[in-house]
Structure formats: C-alpha cells, structure tokens
Amino acid sequence: MKKLILKNWRDIKARKAQFGALIILVALGISSYVSFVSAYLNLSASTEYAYEKLKFAHFSTKVISAPKRVVDKIQAIPGVEAVEGRLIIDTGLYISDGEQVKARVISIPPDQHPEVNDLLIEGGSYLKGKAKDVCLLEKHYADEREIELGDTLKPLVDGEKKEVIVEGIVVNPEYFNAVIRKAEIPSPGELAIIFMTQSEVERMFQKSPSYNDISVLLDKGANREEVIEKVEDILDPYLVIETVKREDQPSNFSIQEEIKQNQSMAYTMPFVILFVASISLFIALSRVVQSQRGEIGLAKALGYRNWQVLLHYLLFSLFIAFWGSVIGFALGTYFAKEIVELYTDIMGIPFLKHQLHLELIIGATSMSAIACILAGILPAYASARMRPATAMRADPNIALAKGRVPLIERAVTKILPISLTFRIPIRNVFRARRRSFYTVVGIAFALLLTTSTWAMLDSTNYLLDSMFYEVENWDMVAGFSQNFSHR
C-alpha cells in the first residue's frame, strides 16, 4: 500500500493547480460555515454576557407618572431581582443655530450604579449626588461627534437651551445599538443618550419626584408573564402606556435580527458552496479515474485488491477534505473574529466572547468529509469495479462512444453546415452525458452563488436608497419631547 499512497501524493503534485483549486473551493465552503456559525455563536455569547454583566432589564413598563414608592412594592413581588425607576425624557439637543439632534435624557441614581440597566464607564467617572449640571454621555454619540470629558451639551427644555458638562462616557445595554424605535436604522450622530441624576432631571425639566419608566430584572426561573401582570396591576392607577419586553426592546431587537441573519446565512451559503465544490470534485475525480484506466488495470493485474484501488481513489477526496477543512477552519475562525469584532464595535457591545467551539470543528470536518466522500465515492467505486482486462483495453473513449451521431447534431447540421471543428465538441457533450450534466449543474450553482451575492448587494443598496431618498426624504425634522407628542 505504501507505493499506492506514494502514487496518490505524486498524482496530486502532478495536478497541483487542480487540487489546489478544489481545496480552495472546499475551504471556502467550510470557512463560510465556520465564520457564520461561530460569528453567530460568539455574537450571541458576547451579547448575552454583556446583558448579564450590565443587568439588562427583562422588561420595562412605561407610565405617565408614578410616585417613587411603587418601586418598593414591585421589589416585593416574588421573582423580581431588582427594580429601577427612571424618568426618561425625549427632547432636542442644540448643536448650533439651525442644527439640532434628538436627545433622550435618562435619570440614574446618584453615587451608585443603577440596579437594572447598569452603565459601563468608558471614560470619566460616575455622577456624584451633589454635582449640578453634569451628565454622562452614551458612547456612540460621543464617538461620532468627538465629544470629550468636560465638553458642554445643550439640551433643550421647552425650547430653552440648558448647559450640562460631560463627566463620563458610558455604555448602556439598552443602547448597544443606538436606536429608540424598533427597526430603526441607527445614525449615531443623530441621537444623544444623556444620563443625569434623578434630582437633576426633576429640577431641569420641572418634574415632581416621580418615574415614568419602571425597569425590572428577574430572578432566574421567574415567570415573566406573571410578574408583568403584577407590575401592571401596581402601576395601573398611574396610567400604563406599554410594557416593552426584552425581545421587543429596540436595540436588542435589531441585534437579535442581525444574529438571526447570520444564522440563516450559516445554514445556506456553505451548503451552496460545498455543493458546487463536490460537483467539481466529482467531475475532476471521474476524469482522473478515466485517464488512469490503464493504471487501474495494471494494479489489478498485479494483484491489488478492489478495496485497495477504491481506497486509492478515495484518498484523493480525503486529502481534499482534510486540507479543505483545515484551511477552511483557520480562515473561518479568522473571518468570524473579524465579523464579531466589527459587530461588537459597531453596536458597542463592550465584551467580546471569542471561543473555539468543539461542535464547529466536528461540524466542519464532517461536512467537508461528507461532501468530498460523496463526490469521490462514485468515481472510486467505478475504478474498483473495473475488470483488469477491460480496463487495459486500449482507448478508454471507445467505451464511452455510443456509436451514434446525436439527434441534435444531425438536426443542426441539416440546417447549418457546421464544420468538424464545431461538431466534435458538440458530439463530446452528448457522448459523456453524465459529465455534461454535472458540468451544467456546477456552472449553474457557480452562477447562482455570484448572482445571489450581487443581488444581495444590489438590494441592500436599493433599500438604503429608497429609505433615505424616498421614505425618509426630509432635510430637517422638528423634534418634540414626549409630553408634546402625547397631548
């Protein structure tokens, strides 16, 4: 067997380019699988981890105005781990005469971090209880507008400019994706999330001591629906507007959508690529077996067993499967890292969970092995089945020839007198019908792959164009605080 394996190796070297191309094809399939799945897994893990660390609320109930004591009542409900009452006020932020952006002011407790929807301090420090006219600014806006510690923001209160100094830059789990409406496309420089102490918000916006948002973090295993019901009962006298569950929370909703998209890509793209790869491999190996009929006959005449010949030709597949999955896995892990970094960076997810998933290694190798073995088994079996006497009978193409001029050729040549130069390729197409069929399928899938990628790019461009030039085709928007919009 040693020399048979040496022959494998030499044959591969003699067809470097072909084998290289096949390995790359398999590697692409595998890497797309690995990168999408592990991006999906790592993105989920990073998000989940960040949510856990930063105590992202399981739900928030919005009311017109509730007294502060409701918090203690809600805290007493079984299954509630923590409650945070807040004032959330949407207003405008003055940039310059003629330019103004949306701002959302959120109250936080002084001196200590909130129990729910915690803030991660990226720069500066948390707000002191006695400090006046200071705030914490959400990172997306700060980054986009290049706002630094000590800069002044000018929120509008009933049309009047106020001034607050930025004491810290923060990340908040409700605004990993800086949006305030579900399915909104984030535009980081257009929305400022500003955190100020409860008393400062009350003072600045002339509110009585009260909350208009109650956010709840649940115990593990608590029944959320039951808790929501009880919370809404308690808040009923204060006019409940809505309860937003975690999965509907605008930022989280769009993150989950992204993750889902990754997941669906993970289960389509790789299969299409691997399918193309295995068809190409099938064609290539069939040709190898065809061209080595004589060698197969010789090996058998010398006394090599059928399984040895079968294994010899299957080894080509296994070689491609092995390197395809090794390279594919390495590339995929690299791409996954880039994808997750890009996402966590864009979304401002502050933690990056990047781990190797054993199930992915197993998945990738078995996918690659299955695709390659399926592609290789038929040609290998054909080689093993050949009788040595027939295998060595002169020209292999004689075996292919059906000795008939195909109908289409007869029809075409009736109408057009085609020269022999054109007749022979046409005839070959019909002689090796199976090969022709697989070539057609292979090309079709290759086209499918390229066109679907282009189509995806096109439709995204179209979507963005119609979004910004047709649907949201305004140059300026007048923003009112929540109070106005509800009256």
Partner 1 sequence: MVKPLSKTGITTDNIVVLEGACKNYQMGEILIKALCDVDLEVKRGEFLVVLGPSGSGKTTLLNLLGGIDTPTSGRIIIEGVDISRFSQKRLTLLRREKIGFIFQFFNLIPTLTARENVEFAIELASRDRSPPETDAIALLKMVGLEERSDHFPYQLSGGEQQRVAIARALAKDPVLILGDEPTGTLDFKTGKLVYKAMKELNEIEGKTFVIVTHNAIIGQVADRVIHLHDGQIARQEIIENPISPEEIIW
Ligand X SMILES: Nc1ncnc2c1ncn2[C@@H]1O[C@H](COP(=O)(O)OP(=O)(O)O)[C@@H](O)[C@H]1O
Q: Which residues form the interface with ligand X (CB under 6 A)? A: 390, 393
Q: Work out which of 2, 16, 181, 414 binds partner 1, going by CB under 8 A.
A: 2
Listed ranges 165-173, 297-305, 353-361, 427-435: which one lies at the site for partner 1 (CB under 8 A): 297-305
CA distances from 466 to 190, 360, 402, 473 (A): 20, 39, 58, 9
Q: Work out which of 389, 401, 418, 440 binds partner 1, going by CB under 8 A.
A: 389
Minimum separation from the CB atom of position 390 to ligand X (A): 6
Q: Work out which of 67, 294, 362, 460 binds partner 1, going by CB under 8 A.
A: 294
Could you say whether residue 1 binds partner 1 (CB under 8 A)? Answer: yes
Selection from ligand X, partner 1, none that 297 binds (CB < 5 to 8 A by kind) is partner 1
Could you say whether residue 64 binds partner 1 (CB under 8 A)? Answer: no
Could you say whether residue 183 binds partner 1 (CB under 8 A)? Answer: no
Q: Work out which of 143, 144, 295, 341 binds partner 1, going by CB under 8 A.
A: 295
170 token code pair:
């923060």
Assign 428 to helix, strand or coil.
Answer: helix
Listed ranges 18-26, 115-123, 389-397, 462-470: which one lies at the site for partner 1 (CB under 8 A): 389-397
Selection from partner 1, ligand X, none that 306 binds (CB < 5 to 8 A by kind) is partner 1
Could you say whether residue 17 binds partner 1 (CB under 8 A)? Answer: no
Minimum separation from the CB atom of position 11 to partner 1 (A): 5
Residue 183 or 302 with smaller CB distance to partner 1 = 302
Residues 205-224 that bind partner 1 (CB under 8 A): none
Assign 94 to helix, strand or coil.
Answer: strand
Minimum separation from the CB atom of position 290 to ligand X (A): 17
Burial degree of 197 (CB within 10 A; 0-12, 13-18, 19+): buried
Residue 230 or 393 with smaller CB distance to ligand X = 393
Nearest-angstrom CA–CA distance, 133 and 443: 66
- Per the DSSP assignment, residues forming a β-bridge with 75 are none
Of 325, 323, 357, 322, nearest to 340 (Cα)?
Answer: 357
Residue 53 or 305 with smaller CB distance to partner 1 = 305
Could you say whether residue 128 binds partner 1 (CB under 8 A)? Answer: no
Nearest-angstrom CA–CA distance, 242 and 70: 17
Nearest-angstrom CA–CA distance, 480 and 56: 27
- Per the DSSP assignment, residues forming a β-bridge with 240 are 63
Could you say whether residue 392 binds partner 1 (CB under 8 A)? Answer: yes
Residue 387 or 433 with smaller CB distance to partner 1 = 387
Listed ranges 175-183, 210-218, 296-304, 416-424: which one lies at the site for partner 1 (CB under 8 A): 296-304
Of 373, 350, 393, 386, nearest to 277 (Cα)?
Answer: 373
Could you say whether residue 301 binds partner 1 (CB under 8 A)? Answer: yes
CB 71 within 8 A of CB 250: no
Selection from partner 1, ligand X, none that 399 binds (CB < 5 to 8 A by kind) is none
Nearest-angstrom CA–CA distance, 397 and 385: 17
Selection from ligand X, partner 1, none that 388 binds (CB < 5 to 8 A by kind) is partner 1
332 token code pair:
């995929």
Residue 55 DSSP code: T
Residue 326 or 392 with smaller CB distance to ligand X = 392
Residue 387 or 434 with smaller CB distance to ligand X = 387
Sheet with 80-86: strands ordered across: 80-86, 211-218, 59-66, 240-245
Could you say whether residue 11 binds partner 1 (CB under 8 A)? Answer: yes
Residues 304-333 that bind partner 1 (CB under 8 A): 304-306
Q: How many CB atoms lie within 10 A of CB 337?
A: 16
- Per the DSSP assignment, residues forming a β-bridge with 60 are 215, 244
What does residue 222 show for φ and ψ, rounded to 5 degrees?
-75, 150
What is the DSSP secondary-structure string of 210-260?
-EEEEEEEEPTT--HHHHHHHHHHHHGGG-EEEEEEGGGSHHHHHHHHHHH
Listed ranges 76-84, 382-390, 406-414, 470-478: which one lies at the site for partner 1 (CB under 8 A): 382-390
Could you say whether residue 434 binds partner 1 (CB under 8 A)? Answer: no
Selection from ligand X, partner 1, none that 392 binds (CB < 5 to 8 A by kind) is partner 1
Residue 140 or 293 with smaller CB distance to partner 1 = 293
CB 313 within 8 A of CB 285: yes
Could you say whether residue 398 binds partner 1 (CB under 8 A)? Answer: no
Listed ranges 3-11, 105-113, 200-208, 276-284: which one lies at the site for partner 1 (CB under 8 A): 3-11
Q: How many positions of this chain bind partner 1 (CB under 8 A)?
A: 28
Nearest-angstrom CA–CA distance, 134 and 411: 87
Minimum separation from the CB atom of position 40 to ligand X (A): 56
CA distances from 298 to 383, 387, 398, 442, 452 (A): 12, 10, 19, 33, 47
Of 454, 453, 429, nearest to 440 (Cα)?
Answer: 429
Q: Work out which of 300, 320, 321, 442 binds partner 1, going by CB under 8 A.
A: 300
Binding site for partner 1 (CB under 8 A): 1-4, 6-7, 10-11, 13-14, 293-295, 297-306, 387-389, 392, 394
